[in-house]
Amino acid sequence: MDTSSRQRPRILLHDPTLRDGHHAVGHRLDADQLRVYAAAANAAGVPVVEVGHGNGLGASSLQIGRAALDDATMLTTVREALTSSRMGVFMAPGWGTSDDLAAAVHHGADVVRIAVHCTEADVTERHLGVVRDLGAEAQGVLLMSHMTGPGELAEQCALMVRFGAQAVGVMDSAGHYLPADVTERVHAIADAVDVPVIFHGHNNLGLAVANSLAAVDAGASVIDATARGFGAGAGNTQLEVLVAVLERRGVETGVGLREVLAAADIAADRLMKDPPSIDSIAVAGGLAGVFSGFRRPVLQTARAEGVDPVDLFIALGERQVVAGQEDLIGDVARQLKAATR
């Protein structure tokens, strides 16, 4: 009997194209777009397809953008297209509530991520408990994880495990990491917990795939990636590239390469006007360590106030702004404008 496949390491790929990608299009994906990509990802054998407003359940708002569809419609549409892949959702306390979690599981969510700022894992206790009680897989992720060190991240992840998280990890929300940063942090987390470790990369400095490989080598077993990198800012780890690279490395994903390439082509054709690119704004955001989802409001505000968006990103980074503080963008822009008079 051939046991080679059993001996190969296995990585679970989690695909937030239909959630993180919403940032790139003002949260305006429609039902047909959700359906066609979900079906293609399902055909490729992608294990988990995540869907929702870019900031998660309950986040559709004037402050950060109204979604074209409500949460229930998005989840129902994608659930119907997934015959083998599991459906994932994302919720940040403060945007979403326990009622949103219950509704998501009712509409077929199998995997639920509770996401908080990298030093605020204590906020996840109630919601992780709710997810476990609802019978879905509960995961905890730390946002803006470059803003604290490996030891603190490990402690925060261990706390989420104590609260019931069945997988934990970090998001490089600003695309700020170098591979060595990822190695150090994932090693620390993997040593501190006995559940799968998650890594979610962004590509502001062109290192999302390299950082994802570093995460795998350091002990992560759940890696996020999106079709064509569709996501906030410069985009995410590119799913089809990661599948190919992991195949070269002899790492099993269960995802069909030809099929995931076809899914990526569908995403490029149906979901996005232009694929993500690493332009000057993306680089500035990555270096400054600013949440990738700030790209659109930063550009809009910079034009309105007549300031350089690179300067605005740098100033926001100095103030260590995080998701949910979009209202500060205008204040900081006006301070920059006043300082140049």
Cβ-based burial of 59 (10 A; exposed 0-12, middle 13-18, buried ≥19): buried
Q: Please name the amino acid found at residue 36.
A: V
pTM, two decimals, is 0.92
Q: H or E segment at 128?
A: helix 125-134
**The one catalytic residue among 14, 23, 53, 200:** 23
At 8, is the pLDDT very low, low, confident or very high (cuts 50, 70, 90)? Answer: low
At 9, is the pLDDT very low, low, confident or very high (cuts 50, 70, 90)? Answer: low
At 5, is the pLDDT very low, low, confident or very high (cuts 50, 70, 90)? Answer: very low
Kindly report, residue by residue over 83-139, the tens digit of the pLDDT. 999 999 999 999 999 999 999 999 999 999 999 999 999 999 999 999 999 999 999
Nearest by Cα to 225 from 149, 171, 145, 294: 171
Q: Does 296 or 231 have the greater pLDDT score?
A: 231
- What pLDDT sits at residue 298? 86
At 140, is the pLDDT very low, low, confident or very high (cuts 50, 70, 90)? Answer: very high
Q: What percent of the chain has pLDDT over 70?
A: 96
- How far apart CA 131 and CA 138 sit, in angstroms, is 6
Q: Catalytic annotation on 23?
A: yes
- What pLDDT sits at residue 246? 97
- How far apart CA 313 and CA 238 sit, in angstroms, is 24
Q: H or E segment at 167?
A: strand 167-171
